[in-house]
């Protein structure tokens, strides 16, 4: 199994270019199967999850041309299968985001259920609640762990749908399905993440009639058909936050190019609370932690625009190194502290009480053999390794490669002593 070796790297310095957002590109690609026209998606990062999504869509009948780096040309002349691939769904939960588009285009989807994962049970009850509200029949076969969703005889029809939790995936699935439903759909308590707005922008370019995306009440007027489009994905706000923290944890300074400050305000605010200098400049976000007395702060993850759960573990790694104790509260997922065990192998001495992690801070971490327990926890372990004494060996790095493009290369360019090794 491949591993990443990280040695203590001293202050990182330089600039990094942020790739297109994984959590935008995945629904953007899924949405393209709602038309037989060609869609061109630009600024697509080279990620394992993108490869899985392409395989999923090709199984439905999509034709994909990805010859040009960073650009995917995709058209789905006809749907040749309405069955999701179980292995692909297990590999990537976001395969579920093809349910809404398939329901809208084809009127039926047979989807194997994804297991939970290390960060939680991750049910899809809100997705199914939305499909039922749009008039679809939902049959859950628990024995075979398959859900079959079938549109009514006249297709989908609009309705008002209240989401008990502002689920990102449920909002995206319902939003896509509703674009081709008859009449008006209102999604109440909708997720407000920037990726929702990016998806709505692409859908409107395709001929959809969506208003108020980015607020907690999205209005969709159904249309008869959708056409092709050219759309560039937004930059990845979670990758942006990860490299902001790389500057902070190594006490270095990094200019983060192609980042949207408006998408990372909670991260900028929290780093400033720790006395890290964060400046928005015309060239990008400049983060400077050199020669500064840093202090601790408390973190509470919330749906956007609150502090992002995907930055919780990287930020916790940083908090272990500043003087003063911190409380990190995870409110979005029920089990997103798997990285605490790994950080404690490095001497972090973090305690967990219910959904709060008590980070004592003031630690000089020591290199150790650790695991990447999920995508973002893997990034957190790399950050910890940069700051720790000695060598940190990170296994199960396939998690990292799901969601960070050229992760090792970007860190090397900033002066990190890091390498990927393959034991094969």
By CB under 6 A, residue 102 contacts ligand EPZ: no
Tell the smallest beta-carbon distance from residue 124 to ligand EPZ (Å). 5
Residue 117 falls in the annotated catalytic set: yes
Contact stretch for ligand EPZ (CB under 6 A) within 11-19, 166-174, 175-183, 222-230: 166-174
Per CB under 6 A, which region of 72-80, 136-144, 160-168, 258-266 contacts ligand EPZ? 160-168
Which residue has the closest beta carbon to ligand EPZ?
169
d(CA 298, CA 85): 42
Least spacing, CB of residue 130 vs ligand EPZ, in Å:
9
167 near ligand EPZ, rule: CB under 6 A: yes
- The C-alpha atoms of residue 38 and residue 312 are separated, in whole angstroms, by 38
Placement of tokens 């999504």 in the chain: 53
User: Looking at 50, 136, 168, 377, which residue binds ligand EPZ (CB under 6 A)?
Assistant: 168
CA distance 274 to 270: 7
Does 373 sit near ligand EPZ (CB under 6 A)? no
Q: Are 180 and 103 in contact (CB under 8 A)?
A: no
Q: Is 288 in the site for ligand EPZ (CB under 6 A)?
A: no
Catalytic site residue from 82, 117, 229, 274: 117
Q: At its nearest, how many Å lie between ligand EPZ and the CB of residue 5? A: 23
Of 150, 147, 127, the residue nearest 137 (C-alpha): 150
Residue 202 binds ligand EPZ (CB under 6 A):
no
Q: Is 123 in the site for ligand EPZ (CB under 6 A)?
A: yes
Stretch that binds ligand EPZ, among 119-127, 148-156, 385-393, 407-415 (CB under 6 A): 119-127
Burial class of residue 415 in the structure, from the number of CB atoms within 10 Å of its CB (0-12 exposed, 13-18 middle, 19+ buried): middle
Between CA 289 and CA 367 the distance in angstroms is 22
Considering only 73, 105, 127, 270, the residue that binds ligand EPZ (CB under 6 A) is 127
Nearest CB to ligand EPZ, comparing residues 115 and 123: 123
Question: Between 72 and 388, whose beta carbon lies closer to ligand EPZ?
Answer: 72
> Does 170 contact ligand EPZ by CB under 6 A?
yes
Binding to ligand EPZ (CB under 6 A) within 388-407 occurs at: 403
Q: Which residues contact 139 (CB under 8 A, 6 or more apart)?
A: 147, 148, 149, 150
Terminal Cα-to-Cα distance of the chain (whole angstroms): 6
Binding mask 309-338 for ligand EPZ (x = CB under 6 A): xx---------------------xx-----
**Closest approach of ligand EPZ to the CB of residue 99, in Å:** 11
* Shortest separation between residue 345's beta carbon and ligand EPZ, angstroms: 22
CA angle 21, 28, 85 (to 5 degrees): 105
Number of residues engaging ligand EPZ in binding (CB under 6 A): 23
Share of the chain residues as helix, strand and coil, in percent rounded to the nearest 5: 35, 25, 40
E strand or H helix that includes residue 350: none
* CB-based contact 197:213 (threshold 8 Å): yes
Element (H, E) at 64: strand 63-65
Residue among 104, 190, 375, 408 that touches ligand EPZ (CB under 6 A): 375
Rounded (10°) angle between helices 375-387 and 237-249: 20
User: Any residues with CB less than 8 A from the CB of 287 and at least 6 apart, and which?
Assistant: 243, 244, 247, 248, 253, 254, 256, 271, 276, 277, 278
Under a CB-based contact definition with an 8 Å cutoff, are residues 418 and 394 in contact? no
Check binding of 376 to ligand EPZ (CB under 6 A): yes
What part of residues 59-98 is at the interface with ligand EPZ (CB under 6 A)? 94
How far apart are the C-alpha atoms of 272 and 375, rounded to whole Å?
25
Minimum Å distance from CB 332 to ligand EPZ?
Answer: 5
- 99 is a site residue for ligand EPZ (CB under 6 A): no
H runs (alpha helix) in 36-158: 48-60, 86-91, 99-106, 125-133
According to the binding rule CB under 6 A, does residue 165 interact with ligand EPZ?
yes
Residues assigned a catalytic role: 117
| Footprint of ligand EPZ (CB under 6 A) | 22-23, 26, 94, 120, 122-127, 165, 167-170, 309-310, 332-333, 375-376, 403
């Amino acid at each position: 199994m491949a591993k990443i070796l990280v040695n203590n790297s001293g202050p990182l310095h330089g600039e990094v270019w942020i790739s297109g957002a994984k959590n935008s590109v995945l629904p953007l690609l899924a949405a393209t199967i709602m038309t037989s026209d060609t869609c061109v998606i630009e600024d697509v990062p080279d990620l394992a999850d993108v490869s899985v999504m392409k395989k999923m869509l090709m199984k439905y009948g999509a034709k994909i041309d990805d010859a040009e780096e960073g650009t995917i040309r995709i058209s789905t002349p006809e749907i040749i299968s309405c069955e999701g691939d179980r292995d692909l769904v297990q590999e990537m939960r976001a395969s579920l985001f093809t349910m809404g588009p398939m329901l809208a285009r084809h009127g039926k989807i047979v989807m194997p259920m994804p297991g939970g994962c290390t960060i939680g049970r991750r049910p899809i009850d809100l997705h199914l609640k939305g499909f039922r509200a749009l008039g679809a029949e939902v049959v859950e076969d628990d024995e075979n762990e398959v859900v079959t969703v079938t549109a009514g005889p006249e297709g989908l029809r609009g309705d008002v749908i209240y989401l008990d939790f502002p689920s990102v995936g449920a909002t995206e699935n319902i939003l896509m399905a509703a674009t081709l439903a008859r009449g008006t759909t209102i999604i109440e308590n909708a997720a407000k993440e920037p990726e929702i707005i990016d998806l709505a922008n692409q859908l409107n370019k395709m001929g959809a009639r969506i208003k108020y995306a980015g607020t907690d009440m999205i209005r969709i007027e159904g249309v008869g058909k959708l056409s092709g489009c050219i759309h560039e994905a937004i930059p990845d706000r979670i990758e942006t936050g990860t490299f902001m923290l790389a500057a902070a944890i190594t006490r270095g300074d990094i200019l983060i190019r192609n980042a949207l400050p408006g998408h990372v305000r909670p991260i900028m605010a929290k780093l400033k609370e720790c006395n890290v200098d964060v400046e928005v400049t015309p060239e990008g976000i400049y983060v400077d932690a050199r020669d500064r007395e840093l202090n601790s702060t408390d973190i509470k993850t919330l749906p956007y625009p609150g502090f992002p759960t995907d930055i919780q573990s990287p930020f916790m790694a940083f908090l272990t190194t500043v003087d003063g104790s911190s409380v990190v509260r995870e409110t979005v997922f029920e089990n997103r502290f798997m990285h605490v065990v790994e950080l404690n192998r490095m001497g972090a001495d973090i305690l967990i009480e219910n959904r709060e992690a008590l980070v004592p801070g003031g630690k000089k971490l020591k290199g150790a053999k650790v695991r990447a327990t999920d995508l973002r926890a893997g990034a957190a372990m790399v950050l910890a390794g940069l700051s720790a004494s000695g060598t940190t060996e990170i296994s199960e790095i396939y998690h990292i490669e799901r969601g960070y493009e050229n992760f090792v290369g970007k860190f090397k360019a900033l002066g990190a002593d890091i390498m990927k090794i393959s034991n094969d």
